[in-house]
Structure 1
């Protein structure tokens, strides 16, 4: 009987946690429930199994309860199943019938207060990426990384800050007209640059790290959501192939990131492959994908890895892309709809209203 009460209590919590993210609000204590769908789905499934095996259904309340629990599980599972092998890959595997030029990218949130840089230096040497983006980088981190990349990475954009939003970019490939942009506030930078790929074609690169909705920093997700919508518009209107990467401070299945993807008309390298969770590196049971790489259909995937620990609360994320523009038609994203554009504009309007207050 005690076990049944515990399961009913958990079931009520699962139902509430499932419904809360449906509330159309930017407050952090609502948006935080977008994150733990992996854990919630797994626990709900276990609770359903135990309830079905252990207990007899004696009245209508039992059927209603298990029905609601199964409904929650289905809703949660639909959210996360695209990021498993059960789903069709969004970015197709790199072609093997001929050699195409490739570009290797590494992005990592180094954790500003982290004073152990040996792990990151080892990852830099091991993966030997063409382009690297580091977020939460202050001057100490810039100096430590500079010791590793000296002479190897000829092109760089460095903006070390002490507010946890410093950002660094190092590239072996030529960066063309790189710019630091402050899309939402004068304290949250992003890097926008064209990059000349190995065969000479240009691609557009956006490296971002929007602010998260957290009570001690920003109680609303408005700034983060608006920055993602701004980047999505730039990506959608770009005449060049596009890569967007960085710490989004948002999970892949959240309404905001999904809207970003829909309105940018980009592809998610994770879809059809796995969660590739990058946060929290210090908590095995509470991890989800916060660092992302989105690409336009000219690119295919040769390799995708979550790197070893760098003593940050994030794991590094590494990708090797094959540039196959003539194959792009085989993986075109759905065209953005009027409704999706209107939702994106609503996010931008919220930011304008907030800034006017």
Structure 2
């Protein structure tokens, strides 16, 4: 029985280690990118298994494993650190109250969404999985958000932007069926671009080919720019890095557990960080956090983005 237990632990530890390593090779294949989304979960499982092995080994090996646990524990702590960006502003800097949210095509609590937008004093919002019923509700909110832009995506719903500030009508774009819509927004005396993005899951879906088809569109969005959306990818993923490179933006660092997988009330449940905000160099960030549940399997990401118009 003890031998069988040791074999099971060794096999589980090997499998977890292989999955972790492949996640760091995400640039080689979309499957590995999907695996990287669960990096923190796998690291916790790996630490738990190694801790068991510590109690089964002799002194010398035990000490080596303890040192390894301390190193990995420090790495996990680093990954879990919240955003701590340094903010340097000028006197003419203005703050935008921004929300990124995947509504979920099954969401029937749009009144809750409306009330939360009002409560948080959101000025610009990006949405994904906007169904025809959701769109009808958003149209009814035009008194508060008179400037809206939608773009057809997939069966789960479209992508959209809502704004209290006017759009520059001659600028903006919709890449139909590819999950990208963007608008040029007149904000005070300046202008900025806002994009709503919805990417497929990396593997076995068309995530990476979708990014390839969108790379030219990302490059054409004029700076300063905000690209927000459901990336279906972790912040350290190869997919997010590709979008950053194509759009000349940088993902807001830190872990924000934005998606529930499974029933939150059950034991079989986890969260992964796949909703992000990417900013060009003209922006700073005053605050960012995960909002409350609004009837979706995703949580809204609430941020205060600092815009400094070039002199």
1:222 aligns with 2:224: no
The change in CA–CA distance for 1:323 and 1:58 in structure 2 (over 3 A counts) is closer
Secondary structure class of the residue paired with 1:47:
helix
Secondary structure class of the residue paired with 2:182:
strand
Match runs of 1:1-357 below 5 Å: 1=2, 3-21=5-23, 22=25, 25-27=28-30, 29-52=31-54, 54-57=55-58, 70=68, 74=72, 81-82=78-79, 84-85=81-82, 89=84, 91-93=85-87, 95=89, 100-147=93-140, 149-159=141-151, 163-177=155-169, 178-182=171-175, 186-198=176-188, 200-213=189-202, 215=204, 218=205, 220-227=206-213, 229-234=215-220, 238=222, 240-269=223-252, 271=253, 274-280=254-260, 282=262, 285-324=269-308
Hey, what's the Cα distance between the residues in 1 that align with 2:142 and 2:248?
A: 36
Asked whether the equivalents of residues 158 and 169 of structure 1 are also in contact (C-alpha less than 8 Å), the reply is yes
More strand by share: 2
The change in CA–CA distance for 1:255 and 1:79 in structure 2 (over 3 A counts) is farther
Deviation at 1:5, TM superposition (A): 3.6
Deviation at 1:187, TM superposition (A): 1.9
Hey, what's the Cα distance between the residues in 2 that align with 1:19 and 1:116?
A: 41
Hey, what's the Cα distance between the residues in 1 that align with 2:26 and 2:159?
A: 33
Deviation at 1:55, TM superposition (A): 2.1
Hey, what's the Cα distance between the residues in 2 that align with 1:124 and 1:134?
A: 12
Hey, what's the Cα distance between the residues in 1 that align with 2:74 and 2:216?
A: 30
Cα RMSD, aligned residues only: 3.3
Structure 1 stretches of at least 4 aligned residues deviating more than 6 Å after TM superposition: none
Hey, what's the Cα distance between the residues in 2 that align with 1:80 and 1:195?
A: 38
Deviation at 1:223, TM superposition (A): 2.6
Hey, what's the Cα distance between the residues in 2 that align with 1:7 and 1:70?
A: 17
Q: Using structure 2 for the length normalisation, give the TM-score.
A: 0.82
Deviation at 1:119, TM superposition (A): 2.7
Secondary structure class of the residue paired with 1:287:
strand
Deviation at 1:283, TM superposition (A): 5.0
Unmatched 5+ residue regions in structure 2?
A: none
The change in CA–CA distance for 1:23 and 1:291 in structure 2 (over 3 A counts) is closer
